[in-house]
Structure 1
Amino acid sequence: MSTGHVLLGLLATGPKHGYELKRAHDAHMPRAKPLAFGQVYATLGRLQRDGLVTEGDRDRDAGPERTSFALTDAGRARLDEWLTAVEAPAPFVASELLAKVVVALLAADSRRAGDYLAAQRAAHAARLRELTAAKLDPESALGDVIAADFAISHLDADLRWMETTIARVGELQQGVQA
């Protein structure tokens, strides 16, 4: 995820200061890693340097001075370009889960790899239950439901891979150690 593009998208609805952008990000991207204030302001600085946002009004409502930022025409064009670009599927398999299974087979044995996969499967299943409950909660916002659906799909794929791998772990050890 590009923080800059997300901030441009949030500014597409109108000028906002850094604190509002952080709040909007965390509200609209509920399952994403929360943004740090420093990250918001550093990203705004780069966007401003590149002519994608401009400083707007400054206000001091019961606190420190706040500068709002607004999307420029170039910023809107960059946002539109990003929104229409198709994401290429990842060219390489890069997963901590996959790495741990291969290393467990290399450094230990099929029992250890199987034990790891069983423990990981239990953790995935628990997270799947949490997300399903959040998704089905009538109080959940649409952003929460969409994020839960995304995470559930990925967890489900991981669980299917783990089931297949557990069934093959003995065979895999022979192949990895060859």
Structure 2
Amino acid sequence: MSVPLTLLGLLEREPSHGYDLKRAYDTWFGHDKPLPFGQVYSTLARLTRDGKVVVSETEAGAGPERKRYVITEEGASDVETWLQEPVAPEPHLQSVLFSKVVLAILLGRDAHDYLDTQKVAHLQRMRELTAIKSTGGSAALLDTLLADNALFHLEADLRWIDVTVARLDQLTREIHS
């Protein structure tokens, strides 16, 4: 899970204070593991330093000043590139796959195209793993078992992709409600 890119995606949706970003992140992506406030602000500091976001305004309050962050063109370009690139087909992708689908919907992008691209990448990796299984060698059984493990994970991802595609309209309505 890329916290910086996810926060950038949330900022592309609308300029926000750090507190609001944390709340949005936790609502959409932190069900089992909420994002610590310190991580939000340290990430925002790095994104500001790197020119991905700027502070648009600072509000005085009873506590510390509240800064409203706005994504820059460079930050938006990074989000666009990240959303278009398939994730390397490896086990335990659901959180990244899920994040990309939800962010694409939140940003009004075509999540279906992303899922199609991801499915193609998974199928290519499955062909590569199947080829590994068909080659012999001294470690053939070990290679076969490792390839089988990866294939089973990729098959589960493909099932998740298919189910998500089938529910994409429903998910879009739910996210925008």
Provide TM-score, normalisation by structure 1.
Answer: 0.49
Larger radius of gyration: 1
